[in-house]
Copies of this chain bind each other. A is one copy, B any other.
Amino acid sequence: MADSPLVQRVKEVHEQARLLATLDAAARNDALEQVACALEEARGEILAANAADCEQAKANQLNPSLYARLELSPSKLAAAIAGVRQVAALPDPLGQRQLHRELDTGLILSRVTCPLGVLGVIFEARPDAVVQIASLAIKSGNGAILKGGQEASRSCQAIMEAIHRGLEKSAVPAGAIALLMRRAEITELLQLDQWVDLIIPRGSNEFVRYIQNNTRIPVLGHADGLCHLYVDAAADLEKAIAITLDAKTQYPAACNAIETLLVHRQIAETFLPKVAAALEKAGVELRGDAIACHLVPMTRASEADWATEYCDLILSIKVVPDLDAALDHIATYGSGHTEAIVTEDAAAAARFLQEVDAAGVFHNCSTRFADGFRYGFGAEVGISTHKLPPRGPVGLEGLVTYKYQLVGNGHIVATYSGASAKPFTHRDLES
């Protein structure tokens, strides 16, 4: 059977990615500089294409949050281009030796980072994602197949043309980065586990869940961000109020914002009226359990509230008898993203940090710190709530894998087997 047009394209990206993988850091960084220059030269075209997309989106009454992500101002485009140069300035993620060990005289094992192969990136609206993802792919030596939302098609195409013009002046094959234009191709792309090594979805929870449920290719991302803040009996109440406000209101749509506040019974009477006043002043709707409602007038929370990621200025509040009850609640309802405790009790903090099973476990600080840039990764490829690594905010390290290189001088296993087996030395060497 002949390959479909998509399979042909994906195979071509796969082939070109093999070439890209052989280039050194200088060649990949030079390509990023060429891309940045080409994008600068194409600013007019890109902004015009985006204006056309925006006009169409208005006519189609696109929802406001998607529209906000679609619109590309000159400053947003300039920031995206600056981002390309920032990625170029990051340390090379490839060729890093993670292990260096003599197995026996003259038989040396190394574990060295290398590219994954081909990334499949599917996103809604946000044409600047094309710039960011293409940069991260080039930096990490990976090919990439990108599929943006239909509403951003003109913008994405103008950006991709500029990227290709830049790559043509570099050693990186332009064919290693490709843009898909037809929505139907997503379904087919998700089946191509032979050629695509990682899927990165960028969009709403429903969108990510759809991708996760419809592919056997590993998916880097998370569908849910149901984070809790637990205010312990030994909490400093001023810190607790500041952290609650930050974690709920600083950017309520973020996945690392909190949805539920757990409050130790012993301090509830003092703490809840104060925090409720501050939250209500910030426009937050409160939904409490029986005790919370008794202490502060608020809507009664239903069972569904404990399992809901509001992505909005709404907070559910539960009063718990002790730390164990807080841990149990988090184990039941948490999504494994980020969980925080406020306490001055070192033992309680230590138990929380050890026993909560989440990508991020925080003490006396806001859950909103869970972010690749804030962690100092220089880039964020995604945040993963999977148990297996990479977990939590993922930088360039999430786009590379490793291989074992073993170099000998005619060594065979028979020497190290059987009754008179020679022992291995297993001596770690300098890195």
Which residues from chain A sit less than 8 Å from chain B, CB to CB?
Answer: 18, 21-22, 101, 103, 107, 109, 114, 116-117, 197-198, 218, 236, 238-239, 242-243, 245-247, 250, 331, 349, 353-355, 357-366, 368-370, 374-376, 386-389, 391-393, 401-414, 416-417, 424, 426
Contacts and interface: CB of A to CB of B under 8 A. Distances in A.
Contact of A365 (B107, B362, B403): B107
Nearest to A355: B22
Given A101-B376, A403-B391, A246 B413 contact: yes
A117 B357 CA distance: 9
Contacts of A424: 374, 376
B365 A250 contact: no
Q: How many copies of this chain are found per oligomer?
A: 2
A349 B405 CA distance: 11
Q: What does DSSP make chain A's interface, helix, strand, loop or mixed? A: mixed
B198 A406 contact: no
Contacts of A246: 412-414
Cβ-closest 7 pairs across A and B: A365-B408, A246-B412, A239-B410, A376-B426, A368-B413, A365-B411, A362-B406
A355 B391 contact: no
Contact of A117 (B21, B387, B406): B387
A34 to B, nearest CB: 24
A402 B22 CA distance: 31
Contacts of A392: 403-404
A413 B239 contact: no
Given A101-B376, A103-B375, A365-B411, A370 B404 contact: yes
A316 B429 CA distance: 37
Nearest to A387: B197
Given A107-B369, A117-B357, 7 more contacts: A101-B375, A245-B412, A246-B412, A358-B403, A365-B406, A388-B401, A391-B403
A182 to B, nearest CB: 27
A363 B413 contact: no
A282 to B, nearest CB: 12
B239 A363 contact: no
A366 B18 contact: no
Contacts of A117: 357, 387
A424 B246 CA distance: 17
A413 B366 contact: yes
A240 to B, nearest CB: 9
A424 to B, nearest CB: 7
A375 B388 contact: no
A250 B364 contact: no
Most buried by B among A117, A387, A391: A387
A363 to B, nearest CB: 5
Contacts of A250: 412-414, 417
Nearest to A357: B117
B369 A103 contact: yes
Contacts of A197: 387-388
Given A21-B355, A389-B402, A404-B360, A412 B366 contact: yes
28 contacts: A21-B355, A22-B354, A101-B375, A103-B374, A109-B375, A109-B376, A117-B357, A197-B388, A198-B387, A198-B388, A218-B386, A353-B407, A360-B404, A361-B403, A361-B404, A361-B405, A361-B406, A362-B406, A362-B408, A363-B406, A364-B408, A364-B409, A365-B409, A366-B411, A368-B413, A369-B411, A391-B401, A393-B404
